[in-house]
Amino acid sequence: MFCGNGLSKSSAFSRLMEMGCCGCFGFSRRERVITRPKARFGNFSSHPSQQHLLEEEVEEEVEEEDDGSYDGEATHMTEADGQDMPNNAKRSEEILMFRLENGLICRQHRVKETHKLVRYEDENGNKKINEYVRLCKIGSGSYAKVVLYRSSTDGQHYAIKAFHKSHLLKQRVAPSETAMTDVLREVLIMKILSHPNIVNLIEVIDDPNTDHFYMVLEYVEGKWDCEGAGPPGGLGEATARKYFRDIVSGLMYLHSHNIVHMDIKPQNLLVSRNGTVKIADFSVSQVFEGDNDELRRSPGTPVITAPECCLGLTYRGKAADTWAVGVTLYCMVMGSFPFIGETLQDTYDKIVNDPLCLPDGLNPQLRDLLEGLLCKDPNKRMTLDVVAQHPWVIGEEGRLPEFLCWCKRNRLQRKELEMDREAPR
């Protein structure tokens, strides 16, 4: 039987979110709220209790959202009151700029950068920005709105995030940082990455003579279809395994490039029409050097927060991402979150102290995997390398396919050339 860690009243979720993510265990935090376009994921959008866990109120009004299936929902971010945050953000930006300036990127083709913006209507009255024809709004939030466009050049659909630079610069997220800091870091991260399980950044449009700023993204049109599969709200094991393999592949790629996502959850995992899962939303992600993935910034959403992150201490970013992957797998199979309390502090207390409760009839391999991922001790938690070789993950599909990324291919080619030069003639 399931343990009683779910909530019986939706009002409890509202109270949970109203409290914010601060001061739960005697440490002081500043609260800020980030709202992103709302995604639709099958039954996840039809269960109000789960929906409310991932939504936050914002201080200002935003436009009502259209139905769509792109990008994440509201994300709750917190920051320690100390001086760590500006330094961490600065380190991430310095690392990213160094990589970009020295060509240390994992893309065969660089992101297109456009510094000229033309906004107009065509002869049919369709609104356009440069080559892109506006079709419909997908969603909106306090940072940006996301709009579906069609390129008049290649005929493809793109999801375009539209920002106002003046608005970003007014939103203070730390003593020396504005929302622009987060957006620019997201752009820098996505300029480096290229992987089939990560949403691709196509173009950045930033005209210095206008207040508009655009991120042209790959459009992922699909959604999770939970109806009629497995337990209420769940996907069923076969679909969960398929999606989970994609998530692990994408996250292993990120970690191998010294990037931690910080907000892995169903709402940030988009599913294309052919069933490929793509990781989206890097607005709270961080970059590190070598093995030093020590962080202090809390992950983006309370219910996916790892136990060690609830204590206000430093923690390892990779291990926290892995916990979030475990929470996501639990959600995919069970249709609910593993640790939920009546209040935010109660939720953190359950995350830190309550045992993981799983149904008696659960597949033993899946049970073992969930227990390994949702291990309270980050030092004993399963690593993604171990997860990739787990029997449940391998299933009938076999081992995860090896992805030879662009930068690794370049390294191998250089090594082969060096060996050829050194070989005796």
298 SS3 class: coil
Quickly list DSSP for 185-208.
HHHHHHHH---TTBPPEEEEEE-T
φ and ψ at residue 204, rounded to 5 degrees: -120, 125
Torsion angle of C-alpha atoms 392, 393, 395, 401, degrees rounded to 10: -160
Q: Where are the alpha helices (DSSP H) in 193-316?
A: 237-256
Catalytic residue among 71, 206, 246, 263: 263
H helix or E strand, kind and range, residue 316: strand 315-316
Q: Is 263 part of the annotated catalytic residue set?
A: yes
Q: Which amino acid is at 22?
A: C
The answer to whether 265 is annotated as binding is: no
Burial of 299 (0-12, 13-18, 19+ CB in 10 A): buried
Task: Specify whether the CB–CB gap between 279 and 251 falls below 8 A.
Answer: yes
Positive or negative, the CA dihedral 79, 85, 88, 94 is positive
φ and ψ at residue 160, rounded to 5 degrees: -115, 120
Binding residues: 161
Binding residues for ATP: 161
Catalytic residue IDs: 263
